[in-house]
């Protein structure tokens, strides 16, 4: 374990990617007193201590640990307090740049208190006018130890056989809620850029791992767009209307 000689880099990294914005002077001073190390140098707990981290002398770890990728860039930062994981920020490299896919805070029982996770998909069969791209495909966010937002987004390129096999896209946006019993689905509205979409499904049975075991209300809207020049505008609009959505071109 070594002192954080490049502390200003870590502070800048935390400040940029944290949803809460800039850190206060007190938070920065507190970070300066902590140590940073490679997460792989710590020992994982077993049994009732599973999920906790310990130092080489078997003491509960308090501080910050990080993980780097093959490009020597930080892709994961975790903070611990007396062995318990309190926060985790994770990044993914896409087209040479880094994007956050997890920014969560936890309680001592490992429950998610606040923050979000998101997944990206696309690239392989989603070229728009010859340009590869990727978008957020799922977001789950939390606030005050409760689930706040959960949605899925997919877009698929198809061939219009009635129009000289020209490409077109259809996009599906699904809102997922556990406690939707008292909600009038007919009054739910999609994002403004999906104003011409139609609702094609309202119920599903799945949990956060994709397993079909919990009944959920899942209104899903489908939008078809045959003008490829409009796709990027729609994606940019979704970035403004959906929390944590992103659309990235190569």
Residue 22's contacts (CB-CB under 8 Å, 6 or more residues apart) are 15
End-to-end CA distance of the chain: 38
Which range, 9-23, 53-67, 192-206, is most confident?
53-67
* Separation in Å, CA 220 to CA 11, 122, 154, 169, 187: 40, 19, 11, 16, 13
Share of the chain above pLDDT 70, in %: 66
Dump pLDDT digits (tens) for 169-188: 778 888 776 655 566 666 77
- For 131-148, letters b (16+ CB in 10 Å) and e give eebbbbbbbbbbeeeeee
Report residue 16's pLDDT band, with 50, 70 and 90 as the boundaries: very low
Share of the chain above pLDDT 90, in %: 30
Q: Is the pLDDT of residue 63 over 50?
A: yes
Q: What is the mean pLDDT of residues 7-22?
A: 37
Report residue 134's pLDDT band, with 50, 70 and 90 as the boundaries: confident
pLDDT of residue 9: 38
* Separation in Å, CA 204 to CA 149, 174, 182, 214: 17, 10, 16, 8
CB 200 within 8 A of CB 220: yes
**Rg of the chain taking only CA atoms, in angstroms:** 21
Residue 208's contacts (CB-CB under 8 Å, 6 or more residues apart) are 140, 150
pLDDT of residue 224: 80
Token pair for 84: 């318990």
Q: Which residues pair with 156 in a beta bridge?
A: 170
Dump pLDDT digits (tens) for 209-221: 555 445 566 778 8
Q: Please name which of 192, 204, 150, 194 lies closest in space to residue 172, comparing C-alpha atoms.
A: 194
Name which of 1-5, 24-28, 63-67, 103-107 the model is least confident about: 1-5
> Alpha helices of the chain — where are they, by DSSP H?
7-17, 25-32, 231-241
Q: Angle 101-144-138 (CA atoms, 0-180°, nearest 5)?
A: 30
Q: pTM, whole model, 2 decimals?
A: 0.74
Q: Please name which of 237, 198, 200, 195 lies closest in space to residue 218, comparing C-alpha atoms.
A: 200
The Cβ of residue 172 has, within 10 Å, a number of other Cβ atoms equal to 17
Token pair for 53: 């981290």
Instruction: Read off the DSSP letter of residue 243.
Output: T
């Amino acid at each position: 374990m070594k002192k954080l000689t490049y502390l200003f880099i870590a502070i800048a990294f935390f400040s940029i990617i944290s949803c809460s914005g800039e850190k206060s002077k007190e938070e920065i001073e507190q970070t300066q007193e902590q140590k940073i190390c490679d997460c792989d140098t710590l020992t994982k707990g077993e049994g009732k201590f599973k999920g906790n981290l310990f130092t080489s002398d078997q003491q509960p770890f308090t501080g910050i640990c990080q993980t780097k990728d093959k490009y020597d860039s930080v892709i994961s930062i975790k903070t611990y307090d007396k062995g318990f994981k309190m926060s985790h920020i994770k990044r993914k490299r896409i087209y040479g740049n880094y994007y956050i896919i997890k920014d969560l805070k936890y309680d001592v029982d490992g429950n998610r208190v606040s923050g979000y996770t998101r997944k990206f998909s696309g690239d392989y069969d989603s070229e728009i006018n010859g340009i590869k791209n990727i978008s957020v495909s799922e977001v789950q966010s939390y606030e005050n130890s409760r689930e706040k937002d959960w949605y899925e987004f997919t877009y698929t390129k198809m061939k219009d056989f009635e129009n000289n096999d020209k490409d077109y896209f259809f996009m599906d946006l699904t809102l997922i809620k556990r406690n939707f019993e008292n909600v009038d689905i007919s009054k739910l509205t999609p994002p403004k850029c999906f104003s011409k979409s139609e609702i094609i499904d309202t119920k599903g049975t799945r949990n956060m791992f994709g397993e079909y075991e919990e009944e959920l209300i899942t209104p899903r809207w489908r939008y078809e767009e045959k003008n490829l020049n409009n796709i990027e505008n729609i994606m940019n609009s979704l970035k403004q209307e959906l929390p944590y959505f992103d659309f990235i071109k190569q």
